[in-house]
Amino acid sequence: MAAVRCYPVAAMTPPRTIVQKIWDDHVVTQEPGAPAVLAVDLHLVHEVTSPQAFTGLRARGLRVRRPGQTVATADHSIPTHDRSLPILDSMAAAQVQQLEQNCAEFGIPLHGIGSPNQGIVHVIGPQLGLTQPGMTIVCGDSHTSTHGAFGALAFGIGTSEVEMVLATQTLLQRDPRTYEVRVDGRLEPGVSSKDIILALIARIGVGGGTGHVFEYRGEAIRALTMEQRMTICNMSIEGGARAGLIAPDDTTFEYVHGRPHAPSGAEWDAAVERWRQLPSDDGAAFDKSITIDANALEPMVTYGTNPGMGIPITSRVPSPDEQPDASQRRALERALEYMDLQPGQAILGQKVDVVFIGSCTNGRISDLRLAAEALKGRRIADGVKLMVTPGSDEVKREAEREGLHEIFRAAGAEWRVHFHVPVFLEQMAHFGTTQAFLAEILRLHRADPISAHLEVETYTWDVLPEEYRKVDLGAAIARELAWVKGQLGQ
């Protein structure tokens, strides 16, 4: 996909981090005090954040600069049930149809409905070998940081930036700061990569990584599989970081080798030689650093209204009185009220209503195998709804070859088709009406506006504007909606 690049290091060059190496190699030009023009190796496109960008290209008479470095899939607005049936939601159907038209018109490869390679954008990129070490990768989705697991600098962009990348294959960016996250020791049985990232966010908060790129390092990180590394990098955004990455090693090379878009033959050997130069140099300086003891980690549970409200599963709900400042006390008070929890209450044993297994964070085959192992021979509790959605058609086919879907169904779970944000529409179905669902979103915003932004994401307001007009929200709901949009800068 990307042009062949080298990573030369002059003898007198000071030690550099992997982020600095990738950055230096991709800066096209930069004026003093201005953002750099950064070359983009791979642009991933989906149906929600791209329509306006293509409209902008047409209005300006522009073509896509590098169609061969752009790949599209439909993954946000598609149903999780039988896809041989029409999409009932008219707006979702229009988005999918528009993506098909845009890709046909501008010559962009599309893995749409019916394609054997269709799936969640951050699942199929690695799956197809599109994601490779040393790349710059962008997508109109916040969890693009997933691809950082391969030693790529990958981050989400907005719709106007999507248009710029389509038109120029470059992006205006400022040099990010670096944040070392060192995880030493070994994980105990039952503790996963998800617990590493939740433990980090619990320590630094949802804004702790703002303006930085996390580099995950240490013995515990090196021991992880590629799919486990993807989970950690995926959730870098929940810690406020611009991106997160892990330097490539033999585990990375083994995963990439032989995939459809990976180099082969002599080109593969040359690529691996280049990729081995990417890890941060000894003595490279980071802007911030934190160390986590993997030996001491337990399974983590988030109890509140943002990912930073996490505690080990054996802990108890904290008290607002223990918080160091007034704003944190108020935030925790609102969160506990919203979640109907009491300070000092044990988190272990709390009843759950809905369990979802899937998404760009945990919808890969290894995730489904672990879940199936836990469910085999068991039934879900009465009153609990369990949905399982594999992250791509390939993951679904493999899971069904292994009989995992039968284990899920025997346990009482729903076996569904992959979808990037299924919980959003599932929650709407749970509340019964659009008005009730919107009211619940707004209540969450009142409890914690920051976490609600993380949960709903800004594109939500583009997904349902017609629904807002169709439903009589009433003056009070309308005022709340205006407040929420103001908080999100809409």
pLDDT, position 463: 34
Query: Which residue blocks in 4-108 are alpha helix, DSSP H?
Result: 18-26, 51-60, 90-106
pTM for this entry: 0.83
Contact 71, 208 (CB under 8 A): no
Helix, coil or strand: residue 212: strand
Contact 107, 89 (CB under 8 A): no
Distance CA 396, CA 382 (A): 27
pLDDT of 343-362, one tens digit each?
A: 999 999 999 999 999 888 89
Distance CA 471, CA 439 (A): 12
The arithmetic mean of pLDDT across residues 246-265, rounded, is: 98
The arithmetic mean of pLDDT across residues 401-426, rounded, is: 76
Dihedral pair phi/psi, residue 403, rounded to 5°: 80, 15
Query: Taking 50 as the threshold, does the pLDDT of residue 470 lie above it?
Result: no
Query: Which residue blocks in 172-319 are alpha helix, DSSP H?
Result: 193-204, 219-222, 226-234, 250-256, 265-275
Q: Which long-range contacts (CB under 8 A, 24 or more apart) does 374-382 make?
A: 375/407, 375/408, 375/411, 375/413, 376/407, 376/411, 378/411, 379/411, 379/412, 380/355, 380/411, 380/412, 380/413
Distance CA 19, CA 22 (A): 5
pLDDT of 363-389, one tens digit each?
A: 999 999 999 999 999 999 999 999 999
End-to-end CA distance of the chain: 35
Place 78 in a pLDDT band, splitting at 50, 70 and 90: confident
The arithmetic mean of pLDDT across residues 280-292, rounded, is: 97
pLDDT, position 432: 43
pLDDT of 236-245, one tens digit each?
A: 999 999 999 9
The arithmetic mean of pLDDT across residues 207-213, rounded, is: 94
Contact 317, 333 (CB under 8 A): no
Q: What percentage of the chain exceeds 70 in pLDDT?
A: 81
Q: Which residue has the higher pLDDT, 75 or 286?
A: 286
Place 149 in a pLDDT band, splitting at 50, 70 and 90: very high
